[in-house]
Copies of this chain bind each other. A is one copy, B any other.
Amino acid sequence: MMIDENATIITGAPGGKASSAPLLGRDAEPTLFELSHPGRRSWSFRTTGIPEVGVEDLVPAIHRRTAPVDVAEVSERDLVAHFTRLSHRQFSVDLGAYPLGSCTMKYNPKICDTVAGLPGLAGVHPAAPASMTQGWLGLMVELEETLCEVTGMAAATLQPAAGAAGELTGLLLMRAWHDAHGATRHKVIIPDSAHGTNPASVTLGGYEVVTVPSDDRGCVDMAALRSVLDEDVAGIMLTNPNTLGLFEEDIAEIAAAVHRVGGLLYYDGANLNAILGVVRPGDMGFDIVHMNLHKTFATPHGGGGPGAGPVAVSERLVPFLPGPRPYRTGSGEPGAAFGWLTPERSIGRVHTWHGNTLVLARALAYILANGGDGLKQIAQVAVLNANWIRQRLHHTYDVPFDRPCMHEVVLSTRTLKAEHGVRALDVAKRLLEEGFHAPTVYFPLIVEEALMIEPTETESPQTLEALAVSLEAIAAEAVRVGAEALATYPHGTPVRRVDEARAARTLIPTYDAKD
């Protein structure tokens, strides 16, 4: 038995073994660029019968590129293997529980994929006139009306592509409204528990951030709020239930106080899932509301997007909404039931086209499947699941604000850290090893060593049970083996803890940046 000496290497590129398939889960998957070999190809196009004019006759010399863009050259077979193997290195809702607080990682019904793939929706050009896109306009109007009923608002724009986009849109609406009323204001109030997009959006809206602290209930400190309220306050941004998973009980007083100084209330709808059908932002006194359809209405997160962040407003703000907006013309003529209209004092366009439309279609399908009755049950069970976790674990982990929560609960490893040096991060990483995704950690910022758990309503009781058992076991293990041992986890994941500092220190943002 010997190895062939004059065995020729036919190519240096690495081979197509399932090296990264978690079936085996050891080696890294090479990049597409490493798998690439000159001359391979996957593409094919239709026969067109169009004369094959040379590039010289198509592109003037000064515009013509000299060297081709080096993309990557692989066979279709290797392309499929590469991305299939990458998918095996990725956790997802479809693989298991994903209790990522504030992200509402609920089950994404497959029916909505079918809807988003309908040729009659997916194949429509956005610039086609209203007369030829009545279905889309009707769908959008139906969704807008539905969202308004759910939030208790008068009208909505479906343009914002995500929550943060909705926030900025809302702040520009705020500004437009104040400008229209001759009062330029400079400050927007947000609680210290607010999500980072809130202050960032405030800045982009041209306002100055004024932060109010939370009190010992985990709610806005009313006294502190009153102390900053004045005629220069354009409005306040609130998440309710807030990012601690607690309902702002003084919401009515807050609304009254802010309105008294002529400010507007902005509702960050990231946590809307908790109150569907129970209480509506409009009824709480909010003037502007964004929704994260990719949270509350189960459109898939796609590894970080796309989302959709429609913004609904009260009557007085309708004239300022972005445009053009789809509306019912009232006309009975075929192809004329719906049209486009730009509000007379519109802040203008906030999306290149009409919003993340296919995401809107998914959300409407989801709402229709659940119905008004189902939406309320969603809120009820989402809150039930979170409270069950809280009750089950409140002896095992610290619960900074230990009272009934809404759809999510914020735990803390404060004691574990003090007594055993175990941090929230260690618990999160250890949980990955158990086959669950980790909770959100270190948010909200006002809770030290925060573990923010949002089970959502689609996790079954047995999954809650398994999650609780794992978290209890980890706490016990932390005491038993200590911080160092715990800090070595995870072990069984495609990669183990990564060197984030190095990534930032010696930045490698592309394959070409590698020395």
A residues touching B (Cβ–Cβ < 8 Å)?
A: 1-4, 7, 9-27, 35, 37, 40, 44, 75-78, 80-81, 84-85, 88-92, 94-97, 107, 109-110, 369, 388, 391-397, 415-416, 419, 432-436, 458-470, 472, 475-476, 479, 490, 492-494
- Given the known inter-chain contacts A21-B435, A460-B37, please indicate yes or no for A96 contacting B465, CB distance below 8 A: no
Q: Are B435 and A17 in contact (CB under 8 A)?
A: yes
A25, B77: Cβ atoms under 8 Å? Answer: no
CB neighbours (8 Å) of A23 from chain B are: 22, 25, 88-91, 95, 435, 492-494
Q: Are A22 and B22 in contact (CB under 8 A)?
A: yes
Q: A77-B458, A107-B77, A107-B80 are in contact. Are A17 and B463 (CB under 8 A)?
A: yes
Q: Are A17 and B107 in contact (CB under 8 A)?
A: no
Set of chain B residues within 8 Å of A26, measured between Cβ atoms: 492
Q: Which 3 A-B pairs have the closest CB atoms?
A: A15-B466, A22-B22, A18-B96
In the complex, A23→B510 CA distance in Å? 25
18 further A-B pairs in the complex, CB-CB below 8 A; given A18-B435, A23-B88, A23-B494: A1-B479, A3-B472, A4-B391, A15-B462, A15-B463, A15-B464, A18-B96, A19-B434, A21-B91, A22-B88, A23-B95, A24-B493, A27-B435, A35-B462, A37-B462, A76-B107, A77-B107, A80-B107
The reply to whether B10 and A461 contact each other, CB–CB distance below 8 Å, is yes
B75 and A18 form a contact (CB under 8 A): no
> Can you list 6 pairs linking A and B with CB atoms under 8 Å apart?
A7-B392, A9-B465, A11-B462, A23-B492, A75-B458, A76-B109
A316 CB, nearest partner CB in chain B, Å: 40
Given the complex, which residues of B lie within 8 Å of A16, measured CB to CB? 96-97, 459-460, 462-463, 466
- Chain B residues with CB under 8 Å of A22's CB are 21-25, 88
What is the bound-complex CA distance between A96 and B40, given in angstroms?
A: 18
B460 touches A17 (CB 8 A): no
A436 to B17: give the CA distance in the assembly, Å. 5
Residues of B within 8 A of A76 (CB): 107, 109-110
Residues in B whose Cβ lies below 8 Å from that of A13? 462
Chain B neighbourhood of A19, CB < 8 A: 96, 434-435
CA distance A10 to B475 in the complex (A): 21
Q: Is A1 touching B110 in the complex (CB atoms < 8 A)?
A: no
Q: Report the bound CA distance from A86 to B396 in whole Å.
A: 33
Chain B neighbourhood of A493, CB < 8 A: 23-24
- How far is B391's CA from A477's CA once the two chains are assembled, in angstroms? 55
Minimum C-beta distance from A108 to chain B (A): 9
Contact of A10 among B18, B396, B462 (CB under 8 A): B462
Docked CA distance A24–B495 (Å): 10
